[in-house]
Amino acid sequence: MSTRISQFRPGAVSSGPGMLAAMAVVVLFSGIVQGYLTPLLPGLGLRLHIGSVGQNNIYLLSQLAFAVMTPLLSRLGDLYGHRKLLRVALAMVAGGSLLMAAWPSAVTLAVGVVLQGALVGFFPLLVGILRSRAPERNRTGISLLVGVLLISIGVGGLVAGVLSEQQAAKGLWTAVPVAVLAVVAGLLLPDSAVPRGGRFHFGAAALLTAGLVALVLVLAQGSVWGWSSPLTLGLAVAAVAVLAAWAAVEYRSAHPLVSVRMLGNPRLAVVSGYTFCAAFGTIGFLGANALFLGASPAETGYGMGMGSQTIAAVSLGMVLAGFVGSTLSPRLARWTGDRAVLASGCLLAALGFLSMIFFHDTLAEYLTAAVVVGLATGVFESISRTLSAEAVEEHETALAVGINELALSLGAAIGAAVIGAFFAAHEVHGTTHIEVSGFRWAWGACAVVALLGGAAALRYRSPGAAGTEPVQHSGSRPGSRPGPQPGHVSQEGGLA
């Protein structure tokens, strides 16, 4: 029999609005970091003499760090404490942000983005704490945090753009003040009160890391190397072989890094597949969205001819729509059920992309479609994170959410790669322009994959009544009735 002991400490916020506020600050930091660097890279490249290849390599390093750290931080949090690993991740991201701002160079940017990759652990670890400390706020809390994340991504880009108007390197300071606030918030948060145990499987971690690195390299560099080149094909085969070896090792391990049996959980499998499909278009197309908005109609025959600041403002409008979708998701789930909300996220995305195919000639038409995609982004990011947390027992929460985050990252990466392939196939000979047909094919692919995600959503089966929030304690069966557990110590210190 396991005992769940509250680890409240003086000065910590144990539950309720104060805890959610502290979590929101951490997520705000995550969004700022995700949003501020990309628009700065062209200007930083000129100042620091980093060419296009070097800028792409910096972006590639960040993607590799995201892929590797997602399962590792999530699992370590479940093993050794969500708060402890959250503080480690906060220190890494804050350190990387300060390093880049104080000593900008090609080397410090490379090291900094790798350290910033630890932000992928924020959400799984926060959800682990939230589900343990305030299960009654699980859904509303996750929806609020997703909304804050989306808005802060847009705000990060805008603030960095303003700071970098005179000198690109000044934009690197965007994340530093927020980093201080986030570190303080991390010190105030309580730990989760779930049983811990097991050992970290270093062999499985090495295999998983190697497999994910190979896979992300293929996705990120395939269009540069050539999708049919020996290097791309060889690395793809290696990625599949290493990941298959990892799965075999995990299946036989008494202390797996990521339980392969967890991946067989039908609810988690459906939600992760859905997340992959939703992220394919809604996140994978963001780069293409900026290209279309910035294209000059006089030169290409399409586009809106916008500058970087105006594009950033449009992106902010999309994330504001995402905030609305995220905050509405818990209420919609109570009214219509989880499956309906899951399906609506992908159906809205498909509607937005289909609208882009047929209605993109005027700014009003395109912006309407883009806002619909933004709304869909908020819905899917909120409901998928919520249901991935509820699909497993409480002591596996961070890892389950981490698996969903990995599905999101891979879906976005593959979506961007597919869109890039369509653009390469429809490039105007002798120019760097893309034919409008390339955009139509890209939007069509995003719509088709979103519809596949909607079909996957229809296979989801909730364990309880629509809109309920099942709380699964350690050792309980999925969908079992929540109730006090023997030996459970409440947050006030008394036996429940």
Distance of alpha carbon 324 from the chain centroid: 18
**Which pLDDT score, from 0 to 100, does residue 217 have?**
83
**Which pLDDT score, from 0 to 100, does residue 225 have?**
82
Most confident of 144-148, 346-350, 425-429, 473-477: 346-350
Q: How confident is the model at residue 1 (pLDDT cuts 50, 70, 90)?
A: very low
Q: How confident is the model at residue 53 (pLDDT cuts 50, 70, 90)?
A: low
* DSSP secondary structure string for all residues of 78-103: HHH-HHHHHHHHHHHHHHHHHHHHHS
Residue 10: what are its φ and ψ, rounded to 5°? -55, 135
Q: For residues 197 and 190, is the Cβ–Cβ distance under 8 A?
A: no
Q: How confident is the model at residue 486 (pLDDT cuts 50, 70, 90)?
A: very low
Strand partners, 495: 489
* Residue 192, pLDDT above cutoff 80: no
What's the number of CA atoms in the CB half-sphere (13 Å) around residue 118? 21
* Residue 229, pLDDT above cutoff 80: yes
Place of tokens 């000593």: 103
List the structure tokens of 406: 């990995």
* Residue 283, pLDDT above cutoff 70: yes
* Residue 473, pLDDT above cutoff 50: no
| Of residues 27 and 61, more confidently modeled | 27
Q: What is the mean pLDDT of residues 47-69?
A: 74
Cα separation, 360 vs 292, in Å, equals: 10
* Range with the poorest average pLDDT among 55-64, 277-286, 329-338: 55-64
Please list, residue by residue across 303-312, b when 16 or more beta carbons sit within 10 angstroms of its beta carbon and e when fewer do.
bbebebeebb
What burial class does residue 448 get, using C-beta atoms within 10 Å of its C-beta: 0-12 exposed, 13-18 middle, 19+ buried? middle
* Residue 360, pLDDT above cutoff 60: yes
List the structure tokens of 274: 């859905």
**Span 68-104, pLDDT tens digits:** 888 888 888 878 888 889 999 999 999 999 999 999 8
**Span 428-472, pLDDT tens digits:** 776 667 889 999 999 999 999 999 999 999 999 877 544 434 434
Q: What is the mean pLDDT of residues 465-488?
A: 37
